[in-house]
């Protein structure tokens, strides 16, 4: 399959979904007329990144240790110093190859280096393809506050090559599928029902089923981003599961992956607002092999305190996004009593 989707809201972004996109990527980069290129990569895909760097004539290929701990100001400073030493200018480009962490770091770096240079994302995980690489949000953590520092700035292009998913472990596929389910539950009932039907194929890693999931996730996110790039209204619907989920990530010191935490968060937030979708959502999460049970070692009061310090909270008011019905999302103000009622 081959598909091209575009975001055009103040900043344009081309998104390519397909198999074997290397030549299209090289042609696109050559057409930008940049003077130097830096590739920022996850060590797990270092060989792919080095091959791409050679193809593009990159000035430097930088590997960033995986995991949320890499999203720090210290790591950002190291990357900035390295690309400056490699001679990158305001006419240069940063290419990210890897999962969500690398896309976040490279996107933030591109937004602030010399007040902004081009960024191209080559996500190699399902989560990266449908979430971190799309929409322009990027950033780093401040102490234990997740993504507190960042920018909203689109990459100039995203190349989601489904070949990269062939060797992705099942647990990592499940993590990305959580984000697709989140968007379908909030925005598109028919897509959610199709994902329910395709659950066995998605678990098996069927390329056509995964292509549907990737294209659906990108399409739904693009529609929201094009209407609300700065998260002042409709884009808040994409936070379903994330207010509780980010608190769980922090409370477990990121023992829970992002997808696992958001899966729990979606189920809990449905209970918090009285949504009838919770049981159906949990059944589908079970079908794709994602555990949505509350971690036994997470204290409810601490989770609430972390929720009040979430970057989306204001003046002590905590908002969660959740579906009132399948495909119909809403943003609701909640209190500690709602979490007490929802937590099993």
Known catalytic membership, residue 221? yes
Strand 37-41's sheet: what is its strand order? 2-9, 11-18, 157-161, 118-123, 93-98, 37-41, 60-63
Q: How far apart (Å, rounded) are the C-alpha atoms in residues 118 and 32?
A: 9
63, 175, 179, 260: the active-site residue: 179
Catalytic hit among 71, 182, 219, 235? 235
Catalytic hit among 141, 239, 260, 269: 239
Which residue is catalytic, options 246, 260, 271, 282? 246
Render 115-127 in DSSP notation, one character per residue: G--EEEEEE-SHH
Burial class from Cβ neighbours inside 10 Å (0-12, 13-18, 19+) for residue 151 reads middle
Is residue 173 annotated as a catalytic residue, yes or no?
Answer: no
The C-alpha R_g of the chain, in whole angstroms, comes to: 19
CA distance 99 to 109: 16
Active site residue 231: yes
Is 141 one of the annotated active-site residues of the chain? no
Q: Rounded to 10 degrees, what is the CA torsion of 310, 311, 312, 315?
A: 80
328 is catalytic: no
Listed residue (218, 220, 205) closest to 172, CA to CA:
205
Q: Which residues pair with 318 in a beta bridge?
A: 334
Catalytic residue chosen out of the listed positions 48, 146, 173, 242 = 242
Please pick, among 172, 221, 271, 282, the residue that the annotation labels catalytic. Answer: 221
Q: Indicate the pairing of strand 328-334 with strand 318-325.
A: antiparallel
Element of type H or E holding 333:
strand 328-334
Given the residues 137, 153, 173, 271, the one annotated as active site? 137
Phi, psi for 331 (deg, rounded to 5): -110, 130
Alpha-carbon distance 61 to 52, whole Å? 9
- Please tell me the distance from the alpha carbon of residue 113 to that of residue 80, in angstroms, as a whole number: 7
Is there a catalytic annotation at residue 16? no
Choosing from 194, 231, 234, 328, which is the catalytic residue?
231
Active-site residue, 312 included: no
Which is catalytic among the residues 258, 269, 271, 282?
A: 258
User: Phi first, then psi: what are they for 318, rounded to 5°?
Assistant: -110, 130
Is-catalytic flag, 311? no
Report d(CA 263, CA 292) in Å as an integer.
5
Known catalytic residues?
A: 115, 137, 179, 221, 231, 235, 239, 242, 246, 258
């Amino acid at each position: 399959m081959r598909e091209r989707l575009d975001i055009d809201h103040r900043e344009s972004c081309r998104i390519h979904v397909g198999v074997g996109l290397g030549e299209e990527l090289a042609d696109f980069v050559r057409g930008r007329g940049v003077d130097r290129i830096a590739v920022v990569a996850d060590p797990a895909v270092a060989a792919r990144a080095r091959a791409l760097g050679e193809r593009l004539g990159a000035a430097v290929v930088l590997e960033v240790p995986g995991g949320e701990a890499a999203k720090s100001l210290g790591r950002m400073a190291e990357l900035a110093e390295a690309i400056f030493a490699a001679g990158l200018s305001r006419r240069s480009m940063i290419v990210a190859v890897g999962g969500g962490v690398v896309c976040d770091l490279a996107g933030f770096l591109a937004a602030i280096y010399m007040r902004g240079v081009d960024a191209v994302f080559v996500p190699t995980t399902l989560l990266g393809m449908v979430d971190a690489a799309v929409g322009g949000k990027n950033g780093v953590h401040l102490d234990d506050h997740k993504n507190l520092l960042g920018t909203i700035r689109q990459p100039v292009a995203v190349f989601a090559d489904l070949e990269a998913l062939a060797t992705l472990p099942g647990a990592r596929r499940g993590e990305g599928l959580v984000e697709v389910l989140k968007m379908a539950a909030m925005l598109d009932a028919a897509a959610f029902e199709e994902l329910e039907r395709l659950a066995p194929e998605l678990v098996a890693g069927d390329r056509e089923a995964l292509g549907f999931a990737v294209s659906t996730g990108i399409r739904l996110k693009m529609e929201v981003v094009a209407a609300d790039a700065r998260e002042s209204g409709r884009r808040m619907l994409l936070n379903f599961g994330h207010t509780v989920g980010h608190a769980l990530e922090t409370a477990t010191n990121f023992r829970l992956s992002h997808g696992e935490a958001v899966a729990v968060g979606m189920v809990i937030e449905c209970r918090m607002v009285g949504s009838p979708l919770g049981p159906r959502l949990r059944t589908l999460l079970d079908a794709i092999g994602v555990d949505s049970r509350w971690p036994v070692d997470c204290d409810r009061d601490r989770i609430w305190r972390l929720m009040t310090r979430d970057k989306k909270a204001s003046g002590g008011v905590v908002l969660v996004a959740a579906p009132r019905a399948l495909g119909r999302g809403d943003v609701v103000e909640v209190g500690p009593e709602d979490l007490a009622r929802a937590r099993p």
